[in-house]
Amino acid sequence: MKVNHHALELEQNYLFSEIAKRLRAFQKENPERELLKLSIGDVTRPLSRVVTDAMKAAAEDMSHAETFHGYGAEQGELFLREAIAGYYAKRGTTIDADDIFISDGAKNDLGNICDLFDSDNTVLLPNPVYPVYFDTSIMSGRKVVFISGTKENGFLPMPDETIAADIIYLCSPNNPTGAVYSKAQLAEWIAYANKNNAVILFDSAYEAYIRDPELPHSIYEIPGAETCAIEINSLSKTAGFTGVRCGWTIVPKTLQFDGASLHQMWFRRTATKYNGCSYIIQRAAAAVFSEEGLAAVREDVNYYMENAAIIKKAMNEAGIMSTGGENAPYVWFEAPKGMSSWECFDKLLQEFGIAGTPGEGFGNAGKGWMRFSSFGTRETVQKAAAVLNQLK
């Protein structure tokens, strides 16, 4: 037997184990000091009551022969697909419930969707970005090219006609920079993809954090996306589902490549390798889209975005310019005085007891930058803000 040698090409994730190691050492050396984690990439607020009530009711359904559910529909239950289509419709975007596939989270499908594409395709990735796109492309043996997000382009790299790409991952709002593409910018990406016969994989996991009414939440808000884009989203960051697991992937029937329908291919692939998100979780997910559920989402988002505003205010007072944090739960800033990401990480930790995330963990274009997350508790964020203004 030969192993998949591409899987051996993955770099060990030194960064996150190195962060954990340094935080452990800090706590051991300073048992009396509180560690303020602005490095957290997971939500902290609990599920809303309407969601857990739906979960309990669905669990009850399962204990009666009349309402018991075995294997579900291949694409996910219609009640949830219709609820998601209704969520898009509220913003004026028409999505056919039949084009939606329910998943157990975005990360899985961000990798799995590449089952549809030849391994001889070139993948184009923004840099810095969520590391999953790179790792999954490497594991499947695909060539990867990068376009850099920089201070100059506002961390929103645009298409370059001199780069030939077949598969393009876009993450908007971006993790880690918090940057969000405008409609005009996405229109350029769509034009590039349609012209070059490329597919866009659009990760909208943070769309619920967008506050500027001009910014697009979905790539399908822009004409032309229906012939080049797949959208992947999840309830993880929107409704606290990181430990519950539910997401969706939209594969429009209008996507035709090489004379094949990506929708049909994805349906076939899903039916082959996946037996669906559990009925109980799909009921819980549908409750997120109820009036009460969406009100709870707004409350959670407001809470985290207030955290982001507190962090940004403290940064401003310290004279450190930051980006992000206005339409995304991440604040992104350049390490002051030419410090490297790691020097800044150590200074924040040793002097202020604050944990941040070095930007280079998201690609080499993140070197010299740091990410703060606003997913902590208000108390943590306030304590961090009270000392951050001394960071120089």
Ligand X SMILES: *Cc1c(COP(=O)(O)O)cnc(C)c1O
Structure tokens belonging to residue 191: 């034009």
Complex with ligand X: residue 106 or 349, whichever CB lies closer? 106
CA dist 320 and 334 (Å) reads: 8
Q: Which is nearer to ligand X, 117 or 241 (CB)?
A: 241
- Least distance in angstroms from the C-beta of 96 to ligand X: 22
Closest distance between ligand X and the C-beta of residue 50, in Å? 20
Q: What is the DSSP letter of 99?
A: G
Cβ contacts of 279 within 8 Å, gap of 6 or more: 58, 61, 62, 69, 72, 77
Sign of the CA dihedral with 202 first, then 204, 210, and 214 last: positive
Shortest spacing between CB 247 and ligand X, in angstroms: 5
CA dist 318 → 16, 122, 151, 384, 388 (Å): 27, 43, 19, 13, 7
**Shortest spacing between CB 142 and ligand X, in angstroms:** 19
Q: Can you say whether the dihedral through the CA atoms of 2, 165, 206, 228 is positive or negative?
A: negative
Whose Cβ is closer to ligand X: residue 130's or residue 220's?
130
Q: Which stretches of the chain bind ligand X, using CB under 6 A?
A: 105-107, 130, 171, 175, 203, 205, 234, 236-237, 242, 247
β pairing state of 247-250 and 256-257: unpaired
Quickly tell me which residue has 């799995």 as its tokens.
Answer: 112
Please, what sign has the CA dihedral across residues 137, 205, 126, 124? positive
Closest CB to ligand X among residues 171, 381: 171
* Distance separating alpha carbons of residues 194 and 181, to the nearest angstrom: 18
Instruction: Rank residues 326 and 391 by Cβ distance to ligand X and give the closer one.
Output: 326
CB of 227 to ligand X, least distance (A): 24
Task: Give how far the C-alpha of residue 156 lies from the chain's centroid of Cα atoms, to the nearest Å.
Answer: 16
CB of 63 to ligand X, least distance (A): 29
User: Which of residues 171 and 284 has its CB atom nearest to ligand X in the complex?
Assistant: 171
Residue carrying the six token digits 């399962």: 62
Of 142 and 245, the one with the shorter C-beta distance to ligand X is: 245
Question: Which residue is it, tokens 């429009």?
Answer: 252
| Beta-carbon-side half-sphere exposure of residue 316 (alpha carbons within 13 Å) | 9
Beta-bridged to residue 146, according to DSSP, are 125
Beta bridge partners of 229: 200
Q: State in angstroms the smallest separation of the CB of 242 from ligand X.
A: 5
Answer yes or no: are the C-beta atoms of 227 and 220 closer than 8 Å.
no
Q: Toward ligand X, which CB reaches closer, 171 or 385?
A: 171
Cβ atoms of 359 and 173 closer than 8 Å: no
The nearer residue to ligand X, 280 or 349, going by C-beta atoms, is 280
Closest contact distance (angstroms) between CB of 339 and ligand X is 25
- Provide the minimum distance between the beta carbon of 129 and ligand X in the complex, in angstroms, as a whole number: 8
